Structure 1
Amino acid sequence: MTSPPSRPGVRPDLAEVFRRNYPRVVGVAARVLGSPDSAEDVAQEVFLAFGRSSVPTGEAGGWLSVAAAHTALNLLRDGRRRAVREENAATGTDAVAGDVADDVVVREERTRVRAALARLPRRQAVVLVLRHSGLSYAEVATALDMSPGSIGTTVRRAEAALRKELNGHASSG
């Protein structure tokens, strides 16, 4: 019995890799962008790129997580945040419970953190995004081809850089 013919240019493992990794890819992108809709768009781009790649199946999870973080950060850095602001505004105006002032402060703080994250060196931003998206130190190390023992230090330094960026920007603005 032969396997069904695959479409030209499509990896035979794509469907399985997609099923296994889609939630994580969307989660990583959503952590950066703050918008489920934008995160799904990023996931689509990432899986299209994976489909054209020669990344070994066993390395797919790490590759996809890093690609999601990079793609989402590129979206921030390119200034295409209008969709995120519209999404946040739509959900903020429909809120029935809660204090409007608190909602505004939370939204502004998230926007401030995302902007600071976009100003960090890419490696620091990616380490923070992956770690705060729920990946273990070992998973972050594998995804970024780093020593597992160095991840804690790298995360702490990236967090310090983010705090410095936030504090520096707050005092100058």
Structure 2
Amino acid sequence: MDLALAHGGKDSVALSRRSPVARDDLEQVFRAAYPRVVAVAARVLGSRDEAEDVAQEVFLTFGRSDVPAGEALPWLSVAAAHTALNHIRTGKRRAGREQAARPHEATVPDVADAVVAAEERRRVRAALARLPRKQAVALVLRHSGLSYAEVAAALDLSPGSVGTTVRRAESALRKELTS
């Protein structure tokens, strides 16, 4: 069964036309890990639609990899965080072009809070993208619900250093937001 069709992804027709999947275990891994991969990407991106696009990229890459199924969840979680961070970094240029192309609209007082909240989320995501990669990924994975042991396994850290890495990431994020 085609994975995108099984999940009902919006790009299912395009995915189903691609070459067959190289892994026998991909469907099983997909079914088990898809919610976590989307959750990690959504934590970074703030958009479920974009997170599903990232998840599709991550699973396509996994399908061509030789990562053992037993190591799939940590690998997929890190790949989702990395890919989502890459989307933020490359999306800045596109967002700037789109903003410049839009006519300037008057802000309606009723939407002021939504605009402020959206701007704050954009600032946090931009600051997150400026952090060292390992810190950003550790922060995202931990705040996406992974345990210290899972973050340690995913990033090849000792479990004892995860807390330090996350605290340093939080401190660096605060510093980025105040500068």
Shared topology, TM-score over 0.5? yes
Task: Give me the CA root mean square deviation.
Answer: 1.8
- In structure 1, the partner of 2:66 is 54
- In structure 1, the partner of 2:13 is none
In the superposition, the TM-score normalised over structure 1's length comes to 0.81
Residue 9 of structure 1: how far off its partner (Å): 5.2
Residue 10 of structure 1: how far off its partner (Å): 1.6
Looking at structure 2, the residues matched to 41 and 32 of structure 1 have their Cα atoms a distance apart, in angstroms, of 13
* Match 2:50 to one of 15, 34, 38: 38
Looking at structure 2, the residues matched to 109 and 8 of structure 1 have their Cα atoms a distance apart, in angstroms, of 42
Looking at structure 2, the residues matched to 9 and 117 of structure 1 have their Cα atoms a distance apart, in angstroms, of 34
- In structure 2, the partner of 1:20 is 32
Runs of 4+ aligned structure 1 residues displaced above 6 Å come to none
Deviation per CA, 1:1-49: give whole Å up to 9, x if none: xxxxxx9652110000000000000011111111111111100000000
- In structure 2, the partner of 1:95 is none
Deviation per CA, 1:84-137: give whole Å up to 9, x if none: x99xxxxxxxxxxxx522222211110000000011111111111111111111
Q: Which has the higher contact order (CA 8 A, sep 6+)?
A: 1
* Match 2:87 to one of 50, 75, 83: 75
- Contiguous gaps of at least 5 residues in structure 1: 1-6, 87-98, 169-173
* Matched residues, number: 148
In the superposition, the TM-score normalised over structure 2's length comes to 0.78
% same residue:
76
Residues 58-137 of structure 1 correspond to what in structure 2 (within 5 A)?
Answer: 58-79=70-91, 82=95, 100-137=111-148
- Contiguous gaps of at least 5 residues in structure 2: 1-18, 100-109
